[in-house]
Amino acid sequence: LDYLCRLESDLAMQVNVRAYVEQNFRNCSLELVYFEMVANAIDADATNISIDISHGEPKAESLKITITDDGKGMDDDGYARFCMLLQGRDGGHKGVGRVSLLPNFDSITYTSYFSGKCRKMKFSYDFKADDCKVTKQQLLPHKSGTSVELEGYIKTRVWSDHYVTPSWIKDKLVN
């Protein structure tokens, strides 16, 4: 029985991320993207969170969003949870926030600083845990935090100018 318990704990169910996203995040808005990324930053004990938005005309084709925080960064335990869909940290977390990015952006890049290291990865439907690179930080060994860069907006248009207006975003996140 002990062998069976150890075997079960070493195995993880594989989830078809594309099918999961299509079923649960098909109509995912930019509002949810902001909410999920800010919630992740708060969970990482961030005290400063910035959302940088740039776009030209048309907005959809040129939209670029970068969310940066000064939280604890994605350490090895955090990365293990990141790699497991539906593995929330506790009962209040579902472990799916990052997938809200997939139906919205072609290019999703995470850069995270923690414990004198830098973890960089591209997140996509085909993401695998081995796709991540971890290097030692040379310049700022005590820096911590995460930056998520979102580019290649997939949808044909930004449904509302509010979604790229700082005062509207702040109001939605705070209230």
pLDDT in tens, 14-52: 567 777 777 777 777 788 888 888 988 998 999 999 999
Q: Return the higher-pLDDT residue of 105 and 18.
A: 105
Q: What is the pLDDT of residue 60?
A: 66
Q: What is the band of 106 on the pLDDT scale with cuts at 50, 70, 90?
A: confident
- What is the spatial distance between Cα 96 and Cα 11, in angstroms, rounded to a whole number? 20
Token code pair at residue 130: 């081995």
Average pLDDT over the chain reads: 76
Q: What is the pLDDT of residue 11?
A: 46
- What is the spatial distance between Cα 85 and Cα 16, in angstroms, rounded to a whole number? 10
Q: What is the pLDDT of residue 1?
A: 38
Sign of the Cα torsion 96, 100, 102, 108 reads: negative
Q: Return the higher-pLDDT residue of 90 and 17.
A: 17
> Is residue 3 predicted with pLDDT exceeding 80?
no
Q: Return the higher-pLDDT residue of 66 and 8.
A: 66
pLDDT (average), residues 84-92: 59
pLDDT (average), residues 141-157: 82
Strand 105-114 relative to strand 145-153, pairing: antiparallel
pLDDT (average), residues 142-165: 77
> Is residue 8 predicted with pLDDT exceeding 50?
no
Q: What is the band of 150 on the pLDDT scale with cuts at 50, 70, 90?
A: very high
Greatest Cα pair distance, the chain, in angstroms, is 62
Residues 6 or more apart whose Cβ sits within 8 Å of residue 15: 85, 86
